[in-house]
Amino acid sequence: MSYLRDPWLQIFAFLALTSGALAAFGRPGSASAPFAGSGAASAAALDSAPAARVPAPAAAAPAAAAPAAPPALRPKISGKWVVDASLAADADTAKLGDALAAAAAGDVVYLRAGDYKGRFVVRRDITLIGLGARADVVIDGDGAGPSLLVDEASATIKNLTLAHAGTEAGATLEGRRAVLTLSGVEIRAGPLGPGAQDAGLEALGGAASLEDCAITGGHKGVDAHDEAKVALTRTAVTKSMTAVFVQDASVRLSECALTDDARGLTASEQGEAVLSGGEISRAAGALWATRGGRIQASGTRFNLDGAGVLADENGRVELSSAAFFGLSGAALETDSGGEIDDVGSSIARGKSVGATAGARSTLKLDGTRIEDGSGDAVDVAAGATASLKGVRFARNDGAGLSVRNALSVRVEDSDIADETRCAIEVSGAALSLKAARLSGNLCGVAFFGQSVLDADSSRFTDNRRGPFQYTNSRKNEIVVRGENNEPRDLAALIK
């Protein structure tokens, strides 16, 4: 080909080849960009590529991709959770904590048989129900703090056992400004240790209602304070240091049994307790109202190894139609400004004094019967005040009424009969009798020191040593006044 020999054509061909090579350099699809695509894809890659030969600024390392969130736990049936420790196919979870955390307000959590260990918290309104025998469904706290805490929520709990078997301190069930409703629940408090303050149920404000439940052990079976309102119905509290403790709160007990506790119930610092029926048995002490605490008990039975009712430090106890049997200590004791007011109760076969008042305290008995005891029926001393109306004291091994340095004692429309010692023994006090009947005792009134007796329409009959006894050396310290008595001229008996 002659045209290939033409030098101008050779120069033109060289320039054309060189220009094509330069245009292809760095373009997608060329040998210098072997991973780029073609067509539209190539155009897109070109648009996003940095300009040729211009160094790109350093780019920040890309953030690690966040792990995918686990799917939210949902019940198979809306609003109903099934917790099964063995995770059966129809269960929602094996972990109670997961169900409580995921449950919405108003949900019901069902627990199958098993031991669910740990500390659990409820912060939404739920219902918790054990399936099967309550002894087989156990929520067991194994660390410090409460086994189950209900925090400013409402919880209904049925047919299961709450326990605190660990050695760390903590209540078994604690409500903080919560509303608790329990039915058929057993609560086992933690083991007692030095300084232990564990409770079966601790109510900090709010309200709690227990029906047909059982509470065992603990420093306190039920501990209510911070204006909590607690109601117990047909509930048993056993083997606690104090079965029920109420401070700046209120507790109502209906047909409950407090058994084998060191003390049955304590109301302190404006705490109030009301008992209706029920029984307190085998306790070292039944009721204690102190520091302004107040207790009312009606129709309650006391069958105790120790003392019965104590009111001191401005505490007050009101009793009606209660029954006390076989106490080794005083059935009723008031001291240090306390007050006991009883209507129609019975104290029988006691091994000590029936009722005692001391240290500026007040004892009021109306229709009370104290019979067949091993000591005095009533002892009043140390600036105390006593009012006895319609009482009957009989067949006690001591005196019917012993009065020593009391502030004021009045006996009205009452019978004191068949006492081993005298019906009344008095020293350093003023005593008033109105329509009192003293018969069949060792004597009517025995004077053991400076005393004043005012009698009105009272009878002194069939006492083995007569209406009065006194020592001749102290007869000048005795003042007897009155009228319409039998014998009529009582003053003449002091010779």
Q: pLDDT digits over 94-153, tens only?
A: 999 999 999 999 999 999 999 999 999 999 999 999 999 999 999 998 777 899 999 999
* pLDDT attached to residue 49: 32
Give the residue from 289, 273, 291 showing the smallest Cα distance to 237. 273
Evaluate whether 211 touches 185 at the Cβ level (below 8 Å): no
Rg value, the chain, Cα: 43
* pLDDT attached to residue 66: 55
Query: How far is the C-alpha of 65 from the C-alpha of 184, rounded, in Å?
Result: 51
Going by DSSP bridges, is the β-strand pair 179-183/207-211 parallel, antiparallel, or unpaired?
A: parallel
Q: pLDDT digits over 418-463, tens only?
A: 999 999 999 999 999 999 999 999 999 999 999 999 999 999 999 9
Say how many Å lie between the first and final Cα of the chain, rounded: 178
Instruction: Please give the distance of CA 263 from its chain centroid, rounded to a whole number.
Output: 14
- Regarding pTM above 0.75, the answer is yes
Query: How far is the C-alpha of 106 from the C-alpha of 95, rounded, in Å?
Result: 19
Evaluate whether 266 touches 243 at the Cβ level (below 8 Å): no
Name the residue type at position 241: M
* pLDDT attached to residue 21: 37
At 64, the pLDDT band (50, 70, 90 cuts) reads low
Residue 67's DSSP bridge partners are none
Which tokens go with 188?
A: 């086992």
Which tokens go with 135?
A: 């002894």
Pick among 2.40.30.110, 3.40.50.300, 2.160.20.10, 3.90.1580.10: CATH of 77-227: 2.160.20.10
Can you tell me the mean pLDDT for 199-224? Answer: 96
Please state which of the ranges 52-56, 175-179, 203-207, 408-412 shows the lowest mean pLDDT: 52-56
SS (H, E, C) 178-236: CEEEEECCEEECCCCCCCCCCEEEEEECCEEEEECCEEECCCEEEEEECCCEEEEECCE
CA geometry: angle at 446 spanning 444 and 447, to 5°?
140
Give the residue from 227, 295, 292 showing the smallest Cα distance to 264. 295
Q: DSSP string spanning 406-453? A: -SEEEEES-EEES-SS-SEEEESEEEEEES-EEESSS-SEEE-SSEEE
Evaluate whether 273 touches 296 at the Cβ level (below 8 Å): yes
Task: Check residues 33 and 391 and name the one with the higher pLDDT.
Answer: 391
Q: Residue 227: which residues within 8 A CB-CB, separation 6 or more?
A: 205, 248, 249
Q: pLDDT digits over 289-312, tens only?
A: 999 999 999 999 999 888 999 999
Task: Check residues 21 and 79 and name the one with the higher pLDDT.
Answer: 79
SS3 11: helix
At 354, the pLDDT band (50, 70, 90 cuts) reads very high
Q: pLDDT digits over 34-52, tens only?
A: 323 333 332 232 233 333 3
Q: pLDDT digits over 259-296, tens only?
A: 999 999 999 999 999 999 999 999 999 999 999 999 99
